[in-house]
Amino acid sequence: MFLISCPFCGPREESEFSYGHEGHIARPADPDSLSDAEWADYLFMRKNPKGWHYERWNHARGCRRWFNVARHTVTHEIRAVYKMGDPPPAIEP
């Protein structure tokens, strides 16, 4: 079970959170201008890296805020936790 540091509440058990999805995928501003392929890419295609992954979590059973997490998918190390809108921190591979 992870220990996740909510940027608003501090470290809490994983059971208080729910995983969202890959982070930093902005919803297109004008979906109608996208081709079917472009829209499908936005809708369905996600990274599945072995290594660092930027992803969105929700403190669902806490402050209900969404935030970003940089997590290593092999070691499960959580290197950074940052608010929505903040840029992803650079992490050495």
Partner 1 sequence: MTGYRVAGRGRVDPDARLRFIFDGRSYEGLHGDTLASALLANGVHFVGRSFKYHRPRGIMSAGVEEANALVGVDRGRGRYTPNTRATVLELYDGLTAESQNYWPSLRYDIGAVNDIAAPLIPAGFYYKTFKWPASFWNKVYEPVIRRSAGLGRAPTAPDADRYASRFAHCDVLIVGAGPAGLAAALTASESGARVILADENPEIGGSLLSDPAVQIDGKDAWNWLEEARATLAGRANVTLLTRTTAIGYYHQNFLGLVQRLTDHLPAAASSLPRERMWKVRAAQVVLAQGAIERPLVFDGNDRPGVMLAGAGRSFLNRYGVKVGNRVAVVTVHDSAYLAAFDLARAGAGVATIVDLRRNPRAALLAEARSLGIEVLSGWTVTATKGRARIAEIRVNPVDQNGKVGAARMIGCDALLMSGGWTPSVHLFSHSKGALDWREDLQAFVPGAPNEAVRCAGAGNGTFGLAAALAEGAAAGAATAGSAGTPTVFSVDGEAPFSGVYFRELPTDRDPTRAKAFIDFQNDVTAKDIRLAVREGFRSIEHVKRYTTNGMATDQGKTSNINGLMIAADAVGKPAPEVGLTTFRPPYTPTTFGAFVGYSRDAHFEVERKTSIDSWAEANGAVFEPVSLWRRAWYFPRSGESMHEAVARECRATRRSLGIFDASTLGKIEVVGPDAAEFMNRMYTNAWTKLAPGRCRYGLLLGEDGFIRDDGVIGRLSDERFHVTTTTGGAARVLATMEDYLQTEWPDLKVWLTSTSEQWAVIALNGPNARKVLEPLVQGIDLNGEAFPHMAVREGKICGVPTRLFRVSFTGELGFEVNVPARFGLSVWKALIEQGRPYDITPYGTETMHALRAEKGFIIVGQDTDGTVTPHDAGMSWAIGKTKPDFVGKRSLARPDMQDPKRKQLVGLLTEKPETVLEEGAQIVDGPYAAVPMPMIGHVTSSYHSETLGRSIALALIQGGHGRKGETVYVPMPGAMHKATITDTVFVDKEGAKLNV
* Contact flag: residue 60 with Zn ion (CB under 5 A): no
Output the smallest distance, CB 70 to partner 1, in A: 14
Burial of 67 (0-12, 13-18, 19+ CB in 10 A): buried
Q: Is 62 in the site for Zn ion (CB under 5 A)?
A: yes
If you write DSSP's letter for every residue of 51-79 in order, what string do you get? SEEEEEEE-TTTT--EEEEEEETTT--EE
CA–CA distance, 53 with 50 (Å, rounded to integer): 8
Cβ-based nearer residue to partner 1, 31 or 89: 31
Q: Going residue by residue from 68 to 87, which x/- string records binding to partner 1, judged by CB under 8 A?
A: ------xxxxx-----xx--
Among 7, 22, 53, 65, binds partner 1 (CB under 8 A): 65
Tell the residue number behind the tokens 């058990």, with chain if given.
13
Q: Give the count of residues interacting with Zn ion (CB under 5 A).
A: 6
Q: Is 31 in the site for partner 1 (CB under 8 A)?
A: yes
